[in-house]
A = this chain, B = another copy of it.
Amino acid sequence: MEVKARAPGKIILSGEHAVVHGSTAVAASIDLFTHVCLRFPSQTENVDALKLHLKDVGLEFSWSIERLKEALSQVCCPFSSVPSSCTTESLKSLSSLVDEQSFPEAKIGIASGAYAFLWLYTSILGFKPATVVVTSDLPLGAGLGSSAAFCVALSAAFLSLSNSVSLDVSQKGWLTYKESELELLNKWAFEGEKIIHGKPSGIDNTVSTYGNMIQFKSGSLTRIKTTMPLKMLITNTKVGRNTKALVAGVSERTLRHPDPMTSVFNAVDSISKELSTVIQSPASDNISLTEKEEKLGELMEMNQGLLQCMGVSHASIETVLRTTLKYKLASKLTGAGGGGCVLTLLPTLLSATVVAKVVKELESSGFQCFTATIGGEGVQICFDGSS
């Protein structure tokens, strides 16, 4: 028995940082995925272990089922039909399970991913031998929601083999969960995210689960549906950021200059709302796709200026902005800033030659480029090995 799941990454189209201060933000899925392949060994194989292979980071874990039962049967509820939170006590057991595996110092950041994996697996599927292989198109820790995609893809694969959801295993190709089941899946993924991030906003896993776009404000999420094709160049500056410090920096600036910063957050709120309106406006309206793209580009440029005003830009981000501006392409940072990733709108009529030129120039500065379609499918599952 083999199942594959894939879950997309996300970008913040507008409103990062300002959202912490009550502004609207818009996030969208991208067609860069984390893939999970789960295989139950056949009885003839005589395997009695749970194996996790994180291919991109070159790490393999293996736990005997006996050891898992010993460590977790007291703290975890196997075959739980409702998502259960990992307690501090459970986390200790997970930590000891991961620590006893040979683990290179440099990859210590991966440990929390392994905790989340163990928690989700044993909670949903109990103590069953299996091999799980994970690969991803997404760079880790670059603000593209790689950890949420990991948790969503794992939850999708595990749930598909549980009794909590009903899927037609005979169907070919990528399948989508039912709406009601997606809600359950999203909650499980959120439990995984909590293990990895402590206090995640829930935006990343929601975008990865449902796909398309999400507008969020003061903790409430609204799913929105784009009516236009949207392509972005995503440039990873590879500059590591301290998200907490950046968020704190904006809050401190807000304390020092409350009046201007309040207006700045209001401006961002208006930009997110306008962007959301443009994206949802029916194609039949008297506004061409090119005009819509021009509006979006201008809104992105404006949002970037406001992010600079908040003090979260970075020399590497400015380099990307300058490079893309030479080709008259609008860009903005996405996520926490201070490095991380930059979005560049790729208009429909832009020639592939120009895109190739921009990418070449950005890569020669040491950056990593991805071309992504925005607002596509959320998590999907496949039983027949055809994908």
Contact = CB atoms under 8 A, between A and B. Distances in A.
A99 interface: no
A253 interface: yes
Contact of A267 (B304, B309, B315): B309
Contacts of A295: 256
A326 B318 CA distance: 13
A59 interface: no
Copies of chain A in the complex: 2
B322 A318 contact: yes
Interface stretch (A40-48, A182-190, A257-265, A344-352): A257-265
Contact of A308 (B253, B268, B269, B305): B305
A260 B274 CA distance: 9
A311 B322 contact: no
Contacts of A274: 257, 259-260
A13 to B, nearest CB: 15
Majority SS of interface residues in chain A?
helix
A268 to B, nearest CB: 8
Interface string A281-319: 000000000000001001101111111111100010010
A135 interface: no
Interface residues of A, number: 36
A266 interface: yes
A248 interface: no
A325 interface: yes
A270 B254 CA distance: 13
Contacts of A311: 298, 301-302
A153 to B, nearest CB: 37
A305 B253 CA distance: 14
Contacts of A214: none
Contacts of A203: none
B305 A256 contact: no
Given A305-B307, A309-B306, A263 B263 contact: yes
Q: Which of A261, A267, A311, A315 has the most CB atoms of chain B within a 10 A radius of its CB?
A: A267
A305 B306 contact: yes
A66 to B, nearest CB: 58
B310 A305 contact: yes
A156 interface: no
Contacts of A305: 305-310
A271 interface: yes
Q: Which of A253, A264, A303, A304 has the most CB atoms of chain B within a 10 A radius of its CB?
A: A264
14 contacts: A253-B298, A257-B271, A257-B298, A257-B299, A260-B267, A263-B267, A263-B269, A264-B302, A267-B267, A301-B311, A302-B311, A305-B309, A308-B308, A309-B309
Given A257-B274, A263-B263, 4 more contacts: A253-B302, A261-B267, A264-B267, A308-B308
